[in-house]
Amino acid sequence: MTTDEPRAQRIPPVSRRGLLGLAGAGAATILLGGCTPATRDPAADNPPATPDRCVSRGSLDEHGTLAKLPLVYEISQERASFAFDGGFHTQLGDWLGGYRERSGLTAPDQVWTYGAYVAGGSDCSSWHAAGRAFDLARLRLRGGDFVSCRYDRWRSTTGAERQRAQRRYWALAASLHLDFAYVLTYLYNATHANHIHIDNGRSGRGRSTLSTSSPSQLQAVQAICTHLWDDPVEVTGRWDSPTRRATKRVLAQIGHGGDLDDSVDAWRAFLTASVPRGAEAG
Ligand SMILES: [Zn+2]
């Protein structure tokens, strides 16, 4: 399996005026993403972007909001705008709207991110270089963390605090997996310990379907069974017997029945029922 290859980058100097100039022509352009520029994907999991899909920043629109919520750059902790492929930005907004409806939690008021578009340069294998990838760091509410993808921060917590963070994280991931076939969490590799990567390289304009050869989807399935359904399954990233049995139990519990790989309905039923379970702790 080819893995993501994080590259350390220095944060470019960004003026406060630029960051705050969202309403006018001086909208800031932020260059960094959390897992960029080389989000290379396993062939069985996600097709890589190709040079003909990579675009220039100037061809994309800048967005300072997502589903009307302000975007905040995780590193500067200030509002900023980011370049997105228009269709992908709309899909993300639809996801956030769906999450707010399903989560059972008060709606967040800010979206914190490491970014979306990053110039591909000579290596155009990342969907970030097509403006079709997003690195989600946190959803915030009234100045506090609401759902944190900063596993690097909450992994050292214990007890109820840890359980709450974990359940909210995996409920958020479940909602993302509903709408996008390629979602990378901290289970994928260390690069994703501070954000969840989402792109529509595999699912395009459609919604997600399950591939039983997708490690990233199966890692999420296993974590969702473990943390949201209290049915511990070893995280192998494989469609193995314990995972089949655990997901069958969940589908029976929610009245759907059958196996997770029976149909796209089973996949969506499993994820849809998982999202509100993030609200049950804390
Ligand atoms: Zn990413």
H, E, C per residue of 175-233: HHHHHCCEEECCCCCHHHHCCEEEECCCCCCCCCCCCCCCHHHHHHHHHHHHHHCCCCC
Whole-angstrom Cα distance, residue 19 to residue 72? 10
Ligand 1 geometric centre to CA of 167 (Å): 22
Q: What percent of the chain has pLDDT over 70?
A: 80
The total of structural domains in the chain comes to: 1
Ligand 1 geometric centre to CA of 114 (Å): 8
Whole-angstrom Cα distance, residue 50 to residue 124? 6
Decide if 175 is inside a domain.
yes
Ligand 1 geometric centre to CA of 241 (Å): 31
Ligand 1 geometric centre to CA of 194 (Å): 11
267 has a pLDDT exceeding 80: yes
Q: What is the pLDDT, as a whole number, of residue 18?
A: 36
Q: Which domain holds residue 17?
A: 5-204
Ligand 1 geometric centre to CA of 74 (Å): 13
Decide if 277 is inside a domain.
no
| Among the listed residues 2, 90, 93, the one whose alpha carbon sits nearest the alpha carbon of residue 39 | 2
- Of 122-136, 143-157, 188-202, which gets the smallest average pLDDT? 122-136
**Cis before 37? omega within 30:** yes
Decide if 45 is inside a domain.
yes
4 has a pLDDT exceeding 70: no
Q: Would you give the DSSP letter of residue 11?
A: P
Ligand 1 geometric centre to CA of 190 (Å): 13
Decide if 72 is inside a domain.
yes
Ligand 1 geometric centre to CA of 162 (Å): 25
Ligand 1 geometric centre to CA of 26 (Å): 25
| Among the listed residues 215, 211, 221, 208, the one whose alpha carbon sits nearest the alpha carbon of residue 180 | 208
Decide if 211 is inside a domain.
no
Q: What is the pLDDT, as a whole number, of residue 45?
A: 62
Q: Which residues are placed with Cβ below 5 angstroms of ligand 1, an ion?
A: 35, 39, 133, 135, 197
Residue, of 37 and 239, whose pLDDT is higher: 239
Residue, of 62 and 51, whose pLDDT is higher: 62
Which residue type is seen at 215?
P
Ligand 1 geometric centre to CA of 256 (Å): 33
Ligand 1 geometric centre to CA of 113 (Å): 10
Taking the alpha carbons of 107, 154, 132, 21 in that order, is the dihedral positive or negative? positive
Decide if 253 is inside a domain.
no
Ligand 1 geometric centre to CA of 252 (Å): 35
**What token pair was written down for 194?**
């501070």
Which residue reads 């992994």 in tokens?
A: 155
pLDDT tens per residue, range 226-248: 999 999 999 999 999 999 999 99
86-113 average pLDDT score: 95
138 has a pLDDT exceeding 90: yes
| Cβ–Cβ under 8 Å, residues 104 and 278 | yes
C-alpha distance from residue 277 to each of 80, 181, 230, 255, 270 (Å):
32, 21, 11, 16, 11
Decide if 77 is inside a domain.
yes
**What token pair was written down for 163?**
């359980």
Length of the chain: 282
Q: What is the pLDDT, as a whole number, of residue 3?
A: 32
Mean pLDDT of all residues belonging to the chain: 85
44 has a pLDDT exceeding 60: no
Decide if 260 is inside a domain.
no
107 has a pLDDT exceeding 80: yes
Ligand 1 geometric centre to CA of 253 (Å): 34
Q: What is the pLDDT, as a whole number, of residue 119?
A: 85
Q: What is the pLDDT, as a whole number, of residue 24?
A: 31
